[in-house]
Structure 1
Amino acid sequence: MPKVMQIRDVPDDVHDALTEAARAEGLSLTRYMLRELEHLARVPQVARENTAAIRRTQEKVQGRADRKAILSVLHEGRGE
């Protein structure tokens, strides 16, 4: 079940910037903030997945891997 969140003491300049960003994308402030929070919540998971991909790549190449090899394994792990 969805939860309700309330954020207190948001500085005026921060509120204004978020409101303007939402307006620029044609979203309500609530919809914009929900999207941003969803993105923020995924960041740790993406970091863990990237770390795992780097380790798998290093194991495959028996040591340090270059950027191309790491990106290849990342894309492979994401099904891209």
Structure 2
Amino acid sequence: MTSLTIREVPDDVAARLKVRAAEAGQPLQAYLLGLVTREATRPTLTEIAQRAERYATDEVDNGEVLGLVDEGRAAR
């Protein structure tokens, strides 16, 4: 596992993070690890667009789309 160090964190930012960690019932290190982990695992807009492009096709016609819309409405 890798250790990270963040230097020159403004005092007010560090204080706010400590308060948030305490409110979450976590030590600061665990709180920050959670933040970093969520950020690293959440896809970026570019990654989402690339995935959408991979799955997009031109092979859908209007009738098929309208049929699916009708099915969705009927299921309500």
Same fold? TM cut 0.5:
yes
Q: Which blocks of at least 5 consecutive residues in structure 1 are unaligned?
A: 63-80
Equivalent pairs, count: 61
- 1:61/1:6 Cα in 2 relative to 1: closer, same or farther (>3 Å)? same
Larger radius of gyration: 2
Larger helix fraction of residues: 1
C-alpha distance in 2, partners of 1:31/1:46? Answer: 27
CA RMSD of aligned residues (A): 3.0
Aligned to 2:31: 32
What is the alpha-carbon distance in structure 1 between the residues aligned to residue 46 and residue 22 of structure 2?
Answer: 30
Instruction: Give the TM-score normalised by the residue count of structure 2.
Output: 0.62
Larger relative contact order, structure 1 or 2 (CA cutoff 8 Å, min sep 6): 1
**Structure 2 residue ranges without an equivalent (≥5):** 62-76
Residues 22-75 of structure 1: per-residue CA shift (max 9 Å, x gap): 111100000000011111111336852x321x332x42646xxxxxxxxxxxxx
The residue number in structure 1 matching 2:11 is: 12
Q: TM-score, normalised by structure 1?
A: 0.59
Hey, what does 1:78 align to over in structure 2?
none
Identity %: 28
Which position in structure 1 is the counterpart of 2:43? 44
